[in-house]
Structure 1
């Protein structure tokens, strides 16, 4: 059985990890490029397979 001090230390480390990951995720989202996926997908002829959702009249 874990001692109370080890449990508290583990909780503290997990909280620090969560804070660090949260900050990193925020940075990654801010640095991520923004794509216009509808424009990109509509211009890719090879992407339009028979089961593609891009076969509608709005993409012709």
Structure 2
């Protein structure tokens, strides 16, 4: 899921990965990331991780164009 981080400081989320860079999620304020739970976590994790994130809506597909 893509989401924008609105925290006040750079924050590391060890239980999540930055999909684009295939590494632990280190979120910087105002940046958008494609995030996913890291492998090996047996409990279900919330998406997004906390209330400092805003999900990015996918752009609407244009009708008649493939």
User: Structure 1-normalised TM-score?
Assistant: 0.20
Higher relative contact order (CA 8 A, sep 6+): 2
Which structure dedicates a bigger proportion of its chain to strand?
2
TM-score norm. by structure 2 comes to 0.19
**CA radius of gyration, larger in:** 1
More helix by share: 1
